[in-house]
A = this chain, B = another copy of it.
Amino acid sequence: MRIDLVPSIEYINDNALKGKTVVLIDVLRATTVITTALDNGAIAVVPKIEVKEAQDAKVENCLLGGERNALKIQGFDLTNSPLDYKKNIVNGKTIIMTTTNGTKAIHHSVRADKIIIGCMLNGKAIAENVTFDKRDVSIICAGTGGKFSLDDFICAGKIIYDCMALRECELEDFAATAFMAYRDNKANVLDFVSRASHYKYLLSLGLEEDVKYCFTEDIMSIIPEVVNIGGGIVIRK
Contacts and interface: CB of A to CB of B under 8 A. Distances in A.
A1 interface: no
A62 to B, nearest CB: 35
A220 interface: no
A190 interface: no
Contacts of A195: 171, 173, 176, 179-180
Contact of A197 (B150, B173, B180, B185): B173
- A interface: dominant SS: helix
A150 to B, nearest CB: 4
A48 to B, nearest CB: 27
Nearest to A10: B11
Contact of A176 (B7, B147, B150): B150
A198 B184 CA distance: 22
Nearest to A178: B177
Copies in the complex: 2
Contact of A180 (B149, B179, B192, B198): B192
Contacts of A149: 173
Interface string A1-41: 00000010001000000000000000000000000000000
Nearest to A192: B180
A148 interface: yes
Contact of A181 (B7, B171, B181): B181
Given A7-B7, A148-B177, A171-B195, 6 more contacts: A144-B173, A150-B177, A153-B173, A173-B198, A177-B177, A184-B184
Interface string A136-180: 000000001001111001000000000000000001111011011
- CB-based closest 8 A-B pairs: A184-B184, A176-B195, A150-B173, A148-B174, A150-B177, A148-B173, A149-B173, A173-B196
Interface in A78-123: none
Nearest to A157: B177
Contacts of A198: 173
Contacts of A153: 173, 177
Nearest to A149: B173
A178 B59 CA distance: 47
Contacts of A150: 173-174, 176-177
Interface in A179-220: 179-181, 184-185, 192, 195-198
